[in-house]
Structure 1
Amino acid sequence: MLTIRLPRIGSVAAWRSEARRLAAAGVAAEHVRWTQDAENDLFARDDAPRGNPVEIRLSKQALFDIESSLYHRDPERFARAYALVLRLGRGEIRWGDRADDMLRKLLHQRKEVGRDIHKMHAFVRFNELTEPGANRRAFAAWFEPDNPIVEAAATFFAKRFGDMDWVIATPYLTARFIGGELAFEETVDNARPTEDASHDLWRTYYANIFNPARLMPEAMRSEMPKKYWKNLPEARLIPELIRTAPARAAEMQAKLPSIPPAFAAKAGVTRSPMPQDLTPDTFKQHLDACTRCPIGCRATQAVAGQGPLTARVMVVGEQPGDAEDLAGKPFVGPAGVLFNECASRAGLRRAETYVTNAVKHFKFTPRGKRRIHQRPDAGEIEICSWWLDLEREWVKPKLILAMGATAAQSLTGSSKNITSRRGSIEATPDGTPVLLTTHPSYLLRLPDTGAREAAQRQFEADLREASAYLR
């Protein structure tokens, strides 16, 4: 049997070179013994029977998985990887087929290696060893991974800590980064570096960021297994932090201030009494000054309702759009133009209706030079219902035409299934009839011409029903 001795440092690159050479020579997997031991083998040979050459062509994913698995501690990993590349080269298996025992084993070990590398990146703790007057700070760390992963994991530290010299020793190999050069050597001294003052600082930081109210011991032990604790400076704090967590969480809860309703907290609401001098003449002035929710702080101006206070029909939309925000008048943008056209054909004279919105300021997201409409949330709708209720009190309409989900939410308390509710008459809490219909902006968004024309016919039918209340 041909014996291939791989070095302990650079073993993956050496395996790759030997595997290509042997495959090109047609050497079967069962005729090769892979080892990293230096002892003499009485049965070792310098040659092996040759067969048909095998051309090795691997995908990037296959090459990554195979070479990652070679950082596992399993002594059979090199032989398994060589056997697999021969089978792949002959087309006997397809990469990723977990029904194959050999491939499934390799992929499982690749996953274990990846998990081990992640733990090393997370749990290495450096001790400072900088000599007085040195040009670069120097650090050392001891880590005990499950597998010989130092060569695969060390490049992460070289990129992150490139401005300092450091050494990371493990039971397998030691990585040295001195003067910007990364090198590896076999570990000869298993002594751990002594702690320095930075560990006390780290423990103070860890204790202060530890949140007892979110303690999940099982999840903590899963992410940070106990086998790593002996090399973590903060580990000595963990048992006491866990023991005192319930009492500390209760103390934190007792010190919490009382909070407003959830929707108010989300909207940043400032509860303030309604102005006492509100009249139809001062309505716009007070509306412009409203900062009870964040929308009012960003819009150009508020948009009050428009129309006679003696109107028998009140039309309520969602909120001002970009054009309305700039003009200070309701329904003057594209949706307003479409509403006017449909209302005219339906016999609903706008001059005889009071037109307003459920929300009085324009909510938007900036995108370049454009302002993209955003739908108001439930909290913002409820806050703005103060102003809409005041308009309803002044107008006292016989019917309210609610256009869209936001208007339905404000007037009936529900915005669900607006398309199926369209054309029905519901009521406000005080009993005012509410005729539900779609918003004209919905018609403008429909891409299909046939669907748009059908929806517009339904919309005009609702407007005709509303116009009956004018007579």
Structure 2
Amino acid sequence: MMALEHARPASDYVVDLPEADDFELWRERARALVQCAVAPDRIAWVEPGGSGDLFAASAAQAGQGIPVPPADARLVRANRRFVSLARNAILHSDPGRFALLYRLLWRLQSTPGIMEDRADPDVRRVEELDKAVRRDSHKMHAFVRFRLVENADDEAREHYVAWFEPEHHILRANAGFFMRRFANMRWSILTPRGSLHWDGTTMSEGPPAQRSDAPGGDPMEDLWRGYYASIFNPARLKVGAMLKEMPKKYWKNMPEAALIPELVAGAQKRESAMVEKGALEFEERPATLAAIGKAIHACRKCPIGQLDNHAVMGEGPQDAALMIVGEQPGDQEDQAGRPFVGPAGQLLDAHLEKVGIDRRAAYVTNAVKHFKYVQRGKRRLHQNPGAKEIDTCRWWIESERAIVRPKLVLAMGASAARGLLGKTVSISRVRGQPIALEDGSELWVTAHPSYLLRLDGTAREEQARLFDADLAAVRARLSELA
């Protein structure tokens, strides 16, 4: 790095960038400044419509332009990772991005390996900008909707217009994507940051637009809405994930979005009806645990019951204060006809004893009564039960609860939690806290012991610690309820 000689006031160089997304111009200016040993705090980066810092105006009046590097200036060093991140980060709307990138480029000259330091604040911030820009581009690819507009000048060729509101300066960077995807269409994309126009041969740019400049709809949208409704799968609906990938702010530009609230509500009603139907398909609830045990051996209401296996009934005192619910029997449980006798059961026994819970005083059962597996030679490999299979088996777990009437229910694993709640929950979010059930008992959720068996090293130690903490909380709560 060239030594600094004549110190000047802060921001005594102004770099005027006519385009907010012009990486090549920024790189050219930044390279010259580095070669002239101009420190980051002496530069004001100015983009259209704004100033890079508070000293830009005074610097501009002083007339400080870009210095010319000396003939023997050293080459500027920048690795591939920096260039890749910088190309995207420069499209961000953060006005401080130019100064950030220059500061990082400046530091690279003396510390070439800095880009590998993910804890460095500048590196971390550039990664955040890059991620935000890539996310915005992904939303643009997914949510731009073209609408047909009438064109009196050339009725023979249809013209399509789309409105989109990007968060960052991504319009020109994504022009190629739309040109390739809609090469045979004439289209325009209007945004508050500028516009693009493609006539099938030439791409041109236009000024910023307003929402009112875009058409409100066209006859084809009815067909598209019908298609979208027909492919909407309520069984795979996850509202949280959908909103994360398709935020509501984009809905106003998407014709199918008007259907989403109704489709979501319908899906939730349909799921509830499916669960209820699964229960109503059975006759009256058995009055005793022995009757449940007899009935589950004859149950063929889901595909698991049609495999070559044996139903496994719960066991324990009929008046147990604690009911422990697992996922389903395993291979050893299927052969023995008892719950939790295999490796997971042995691990459970050890942890229960560690925190002072007597398994013999608890009623131990599973959310699903048959072993679901896939045959591999002579081995039967465990498979997780599906949501519908768990929901169908809720009839049996609810029947057991109605007879045992436990004060507290411990659900181990997501399948067990769904069997008790009728919906899927995140174990990490609900563990360690009571959930009130409709009969007045409390549900506590933790991981399944088999999850611990699949881990090793520090990961297993950490999860074992959490498992013990959950069991200890259950033990303390049982003492309070006694």
Aligned length: 273
Q: Structure 1: how far apart are the matches of 2:240 and 2:302?
A: 34
After superposition, residues 346-357 of structure 1 pair within 5 angstroms as: none
2:14 aligns to what SS in structure 1?
strand
1:242 aligns to what SS in structure 2?
helix
Residue 146 of structure 1 is matched in structure 2 by 167
Q: Structure 1: how far apart are the matches of 2:151 and 2:49?
A: 38
| 1:216 aligned partner, one-letter code | K
After superposition, residues 181-200 of structure 1 pair within 5 angstroms as: 181-191=202-212, 192-200=214-222
Deviations 1:409-443 (A, max 9, x none): 3xxxx579xxxxxxxxxxxxxxxxxxxxxxxxxxx
Q: Structure 1: how far apart are the matches of 2:45 and 2:20?
A: 15
**How far has the Cα of 1:126 moved from its partner?**
0.5
Contact in 2 for aligned 1:84/1:102 (Cα 8 Å)? yes
Q: Structure 1: how far apart are the matches of 2:104 and 2:199?
A: 38
Q: Structure 1: how far apart are the matches of 2:85 and 2:305?
A: 49
After superposition, residues 67-82 of structure 1 pair within 5 angstroms as: 67-82=87-102
Q: State yes or no: 1:213 paired with 2:235.
A: yes
Contact in 1 for aligned 2:193/2:209 (Cα 8 Å)? no
Which of these residues, 14, 28, 50, is aligned with residue 17 of structure 1?
Answer: 28
Contact in 1 for aligned 2:91/2:169 (Cα 8 Å)? yes
Structure 2 unmatched ranges of 5 or more: 1-11, 51-55, 279-299, 308-372, 382-482
Residue 115 of structure 1 is matched in structure 2 by 135
Q: Structure 2: how far apart are the matches of 1:117 and 1:124?
A: 11
| 2:163 aligned partner, one-letter code | W
Which of these residues, 25, 33, 57, is aligned with residue 41 of structure 1?
Answer: 57
1:33 aligns to what SS in structure 2?
strand
Contact in 2 for aligned 1:9/1:185 (Cα 8 Å)? no
2:109 aligns to what SS in structure 1?
helix
Contact in 1 for aligned 2:17/2:45 (Cα 8 Å)? yes
2:27 aligns to what SS in structure 1?
helix
Identity %: 36
Contact in 2 for aligned 1:130/1:136 (Cα 8 Å)? no
**How far has the Cα of 1:264 moved from its partner?**
8.8
* CA-based RMSD: 3.3
**How far has the Cα of 1:160 moved from its partner?**
0.6
Pair 157,263 (structure 1): closer, same or farther in 2 beyond 3 Å: farther
Q: Structure 2: how far apart are the matches of 1:182 and 1:25?
A: 38
**How far has the Cα of 1:129 moved from its partner?**
2.1
Which of these residues, 3, 15, 24, is aligned with residue 4 of structure 1?
Answer: 15
Residue 198 of structure 2 is matched in structure 1 by 177
| 1:161 aligned partner, one-letter code | F
Q: Structure 1: how far apart are the matches of 2:26 and 2:271?
A: 54
After superposition, residues 8-407 of structure 1 pair within 5 angstroms as: 8=19, 11-37=22-48, 41-44=57-60, 45-47=63-65, 53=73, 55-91=75-111, 93-129=113-149, 131=151, 134=155, 136-191=157-212, 192-249=214-271, 261=303, 406=377
Q: Structure 1: how far apart are the matches of 2:80 and 2:47?
A: 26
Q: Structure 2: how far apart are the matches of 1:251 and 1:204?
A: 24
1:94 aligns to what SS in structure 2?
helix
**How far has the Cα of 1:62 moved from its partner?**
2.1
**How far has the Cα of 1:135 moved from its partner?**
5.4
Q: Structure 1: how far apart are the matches of 2:173 and 2:157?
A: 25
Deviations 1:154-213 (A, max 9, x none): 211111111112111111121222232223333144423221112222111111111122
| 1:217 aligned partner, one-letter code | V
